Amino acid sequence: MNEQPSSSRQTEIPPTHPQELSPQPSERVYLAEDLFQGEKEIIIRYGESRYRLRITKTGKLILTK
């Protein structure tokens, strides 16, 4: 019994687009790259309040009021 290696083997690539992330029906997925558009900080308005969302030097997200 000789088994030959399969040459049609596919490598799985991790998803990179929101459509590929399979969000829950009530969940919206946004890519940070789309929100920040090359900037390190954005302002989010929620009601009368403004929140600052920034990317730190270590690549973490910080949300402050």
Q: 33-43, pLDDT tens digit by residue?
A: 999 999 999 99
Going by C-beta distance under 8 Å and a sequence separation of 6 or more, which residues neighbour residue 49? Answer: 65
Strand order in the sheet with 61-64: 41-46, 49-55, 61-64
pLDDT of residue 6: 46
Chain position carrying tokens 């270590």? 58
- Which among 33, 30, 35 is positioned nearest to 18, based on CA atoms? 30
Q: Is 63 helix (H, G, I), strand (E, B) or coil?
A: strand
What one-character DSSP code corresponds to residue 34?
H
Task: Specify the CATH superfamily of domain 28-64.
Answer: Complement Module, domain 1 (2.10.70.10)
- Domain extents for the chain? 28-64
Q: What is the mean pLDDT of residues 3-12?
A: 50
pTM of the model: 0.59
pLDDT of residue 28: 86
Tens of pLDDT, residue by residue over 12-57, are 545 555 555 566 778 888 999 999 999 999 999 999 999 999 999 9
